[in-house]
Structure 1
Amino acid sequence: MTQIVNVQQSEAWNGYEGEHWAAHHDRYNAINGGFNTALLDAAGIDEGSRVLDLGCGAGQTSRLAARRAHTGRVLGVDLSAPMLARARATALDEGIGNVAFAQGDVQVFGFAEGEFDAAISRFAVMFFADPVAAFANVARALRPGGRLAFLSMPDVTGSDLGTVLATAREHLPAWHTTPDPDGSGPMSLSDPDRVRTILGKAGFGDVSTRRIEATETWGRDAADAAEFFTGWGPVRHHLAGADPDPLRAALTDAFGRFERDGAVRLDGSAWLVTAVR
């Protein structure tokens, strides 16, 4: 594994959080997978593309990119050993031979200059310790004219997910979804102006931000969704050994508002960001 500068995130993704994502990769894909096509289309991947997947996790976007770039190749990079183990096993099971996975920190990973034609990320780039340095390293890894496409979380206030998060925060007062003091965290790239500033400093041009929508499937029913959400890393961390039953009951009520067509389905949204080296 290469040098790690994002130590706090590395500890989380190689501990319970990474293990939870690896064990529940199908559930996370059901939540986030509705955005996949828009992401891959925006990256301009063709049959011979060399693609870098940033924070690839359990590898769904890497495998989909590899199917598009069937005469090219894909490299997925992530901090999490448990998730990468799942990614490698699934790629092997599906017989996808033009994808590889590496454990490392994108901010300092030793990419070769101009090694890739496109870089993608599904909700992972919000956690960089130094986003300008990280995106500058990605820019270096892209050929001149190479495309960056990623998804980041928007402000969730008033959204379906915002309703669920508000319910959780009533029982977890120490939990917040605003950027962490160092500027990282799930909402760190929710402001398009900040995104454009960061990418401009990192060596990207032609930056575009577009809000897109997709359905997120959280569970078979409200109780199933609440059980899953209660086990999610940030929630478990902020429970800190407290009784989870009150939270689980409140989440069951919250998710119950979104039961339709045999599942819990939230109307989700994301920023789709594109840029060119």
Structure 2
Amino acid sequence: MSDEQGQRERWNGRAGSAWVTSQALLDRMMKPFEEVLLEGVSGERILDVGCGTGVTTVGATRIPGVRTCVGLDISEQMVDAARERAERAGSPATFVVGDAQTFGFEPAAYDLVMSRFGVMFFADPVAAFANLRAATRPGGKLRCITWRDAAENPFMTTAERAAAPLLPDLPVREPNEPGQFGLADREIVRRILTESGWTDIDIEPFGAECSFAEADLIRYVTQMGHVGIALAGADDQTRDRVVPVVRAAFEPFVAGDEVRFDAACWLIRARNTTS
């Protein structure tokens, strides 16, 4: 199975379903990143890559001067949820199902391409960012948030580290491979953007303090990430062994009725100076 096919199957399967059913939890947890991303958004026409359930896409349409924001995601389930969100909010945001690496964008259609954690999964990132640049007008911009290294984000790997002895078939993360930490290396990101034709590249580290309700921690543990996918297909006996162990591993992040953690990310900015 190709990386591209694997990502499509994952996000149209259990992973996509988990993001849809956990929208409220993830909206709260990801709120600091939404604020950082949208703080610098400008332009009439915006493309939101890997838009998920649409919170950043809808948020962009509230910014003065933004006429349209199109959310693109590989997950049909999440795009359906995003459309429902936009309808509830009375937002003009629109949504399309597709893979940004190969999607046939109208040339020079957007003033800004933005993404919150949606650009780390490409099988061929140079081709993907070149395709996104072609969709951006001359002088248009790129603005993305990605994760820094896994070692700087221990919260994100707590579940799989705790569950690994009990779930030996859990996928092993490989550095710089498509996935959550696929763009963790600043120099690799710079090379990818340079080779795909972007200029004025700036890759700035930033940290965010994230939180969600402790009452939602078991939901997070049993639905999100590699462990959530593994538990979705596990029998009750396996779940009864794994869940208490994983929940205990998160205890350092629990403060009263909240789960809190620090996130280490990159804010990536670039420009399309091709005429």
CA drift of 1:203 comes to 0.8
Structure 1 gap ranges (5+):
none
SS in 2 for 1:157: helix
- The 1:256/1:5 distance shift into structure 2, 3 A limit, reads closer
Letter in 2 for 1:75: V
CA drift of 1:214 comes to 1.4
- The 1:110/1:230 distance shift into structure 2, 3 A limit, reads same
Aligned match of 2:85 in 61, 83, 90? 90
Aligned match of 2:120 in 104, 126, 131? 126
The aligned counterpart of 2:38 is 40
The aligned counterpart of 2:67 is 72
Indicate if the aligned counterparts of 1:129 and 1:184 stay in contact, CA closer than 8 A.
Answer: yes
Letter in 1 for 2:217: A
Runs of at least 4 residues of structure 1 off by over 6 A?
none
| TM-score between both structures, scaled by the size of structure 2 | 0.89
The aligned counterpart of 2:172 is 176
**1:197-222: per-residue Cα shift (whole Å, max 9, x none)?**
0010111011111111112224324x
1:257 aligns with 2:252: yes
Indicate if the aligned counterparts of 2:42 and 2:66 stay in contact, CA closer than 8 A.
Answer: no
- The 1:14/1:162 distance shift into structure 2, 3 A limit, reads closer
Q: Distance in 1 between matches of 2:17 and 2:140?
A: 33
Letter in 2 for 1:187: F
CA drift of 1:159 comes to 4.0
1:107 aligns with 2:101: yes
The aligned counterpart of 2:110 is 116
1:246 aligns with 2:244: no
| TM-score between both structures, scaled by the size of structure 1 | 0.88
The aligned counterpart of 1:207 is 201
What is the CA RMSD across the aligned residues, in angstroms? 2.2
SS in 1 for 2:246: helix
- The 1:71/1:236 distance shift into structure 2, 3 A limit, reads closer
Letter in 2 for 1:176: V
- The 1:29/1:133 distance shift into structure 2, 3 A limit, reads same
The aligned counterpart of 2:182 is 188
- The 1:148/1:261 distance shift into structure 2, 3 A limit, reads farther
CA drift of 1:193 comes to 0.3
Structure 2 gap ranges (5+):
none
Q: How many residues align?
A: 266
